[in-house]
Chain A
């Protein structure tokens, strides 16, 4: 019993630490944003960059002396929280592929946004068109699931490939939109998370945290026992829709770093790892955030340090955690005996 309590304290401490680090990074963004608007309050960001340079001078690790690295880290740190937070419900609803599907829908949205932008000269931010497309895709999948009576993988596969197909056609139709690197959307591009992209992630994270924070109980009930939740008169269809729209938002926010192709990993892998060893649902959330956060931050830093793609690095680190969790669970570390009977 004391072991359980110590374990809870440790986890709690780690989560508080993560929250602190994320707040620091967001504070950097706020401060830097104020400075760029010519308002007072930019001192904090400038101080952090200076500190980063000093660290660079001493250790040779120059990363933290660059503003854009701070933006990347802030975006990544938020992904490391909200990805697993939404993912844990998605995975246990057995909708793991929904993230992948919505990412491809979002890709079609990016393509559509580019087309509209080049045709009208009105450059709607591409992430916004991606968000619109992903949310429409999310509701379409939900509608299909309701009318096809299950989250069959067939409607999901059709949606996934269909929207990607549409995206590729729009892009070739629009003929080499000048200056835009489609690869950045496919594989993510951590070395340049635009400032507005980072802010989009802040907004997405605030919405996700508020929604999951205030509807945690209902989401848990609906995820664990949908029929009993319906008997208890919870608005199951409404919570399904909420969950899938939150997923769409997280997917679009995370796409900048991980890319369309890898974005589902942040929804699925940390949860899968945490569920192997967690003793309760709450603990699974903490562990999943821990896995997500360490993977993203380490992935970004290693990606910069060695000039390798951050998205791929992040995903491989997370999978490393997963393998470790499987091994630990196998050795009975999870405290919850796996079968009592």
Chain B
């Protein structure tokens, strides 16, 4: 099994505040990794480090076996940011235009081809947003919008899908449907890294858990995580644990 993303002894600080300290972890191809931790624990920072959005103060990061700075195959990663683009609130962009962005890294300065458009259409119908293709992304509900972003990742033919609390503000039914979709994609071999504050969702779905609060408290399969005391240690006395079993 090859490694999709790997962090080795990574440390990162915002000024004097250490956000991530000496974390080593890897994401294997095709795995479903849940990244959990209390608020302000550095989950998003760790994800940003893994994706090369931030540079570690020390330690190293590799994507698909290459040092992150030299990694060029951006299309292999689909990324859905926290509260994905509030920009959508004013910018007139359609669902189709958003999904087409998934093809941009493949084409560079060239025009999109007919093949690209077919891939875009397939991605939209796969996640069931093809009826919405001419709608402005900001006119969609939270669940529809997240599916559109997943379609963008599908259109780019990503091998790794990184999601940062994708279902904040999404109603329960759409959320279940969304996670069902993630399961399907994972079964097809796409590696998933999911940040989620609802630990129940993660333990239900992820094969492995990384529990972080500045340092890594657990990195291994979900079963051993549930049995361990990593959660209590990571969340400490002050943290609130959200349990939400289905």
A247 proximal to B (CB < 8 A): no
Are A281 and B74 interface neighbours, CB within 8 A?
A: no
Residues of B within 8 A of A231 (CB): 51-53, 74, 77, 79, 162
For residue B181, CB closer than 8 A to chain A, the reply is no
Alpha-carbon distance A230/B52, docked complex (angstroms): 8
Known contacts: A336-B135, A337-B135. The answer to whether A232 contacts B104 by CB under 8 A is: yes
What are the residues of chain B within 8 A of A283 when measuring CB–CB?
Answer: 92
Tell me which residues across on chain A come within 8 A of B92, comparing CB atoms. 274-275, 278-281, 283-284, 336
Interface residues of B in 82-133 (CB under 8 A from A): 84-85, 87-88, 90-94, 96-98, 101, 104-105, 107, 109, 112
Q: Are A228 and B81 touching (Cβ within 8 A)? A: yes
Question: In whole angstroms, what is the CA distance A217 to B110 when docked?
Answer: 9
Q: How many residues of A are in contact with the other chain, CB < 8 A?
A: 33
Of B72, B91, B105, B109, the most chain A CB neighbours within 10 A belong to: B91
- Please name all residues of chain A whose beta carbon is closer than 8 Å to the beta carbon of B43 when the two chains form the complex: none
When distances are taken between beta carbons in the complex, the residues of chain B under 8 Å from A232 are 74-75, 77, 79, 101, 104-105, 156
Please, how many residues of chain B have a CB less than 8 angstroms from a CB on the other chain? 42
Query: Is chain B's interface secondary structure helix, strand, loop, or mixed overall?
Result: mixed
- Choose from A92, A215, A279, A281 the contact partner of B134 (Cβ within 8 Å): A279
Residues of chain A with a CB closer than 8 A to B85's CB: 224-225, 228
Complex CA gap A227/B81 in Å reads: 7
Which chain A residues lie closer than 8 Å to B109 at the CB level?
Answer: 214-215, 217-218
Give me 15 A-to-B residue pairs in the complex whose CB atoms sit less than 8 angstroms apart, sorted by A's number: A217-B107, A217-B112, A225-B85, A227-B53, A227-B81, A231-B53, A231-B79, A232-B77, A232-B156, A233-B72, A234-B105, A275-B92, A281-B97, A336-B92, A340-B135
Residue numbers of A with Cβ under 8 A of B are 4, 92, 214-215, 217-218, 220-221, 223-225, 227-228, 230-234, 274-275, 278-284, 336-341
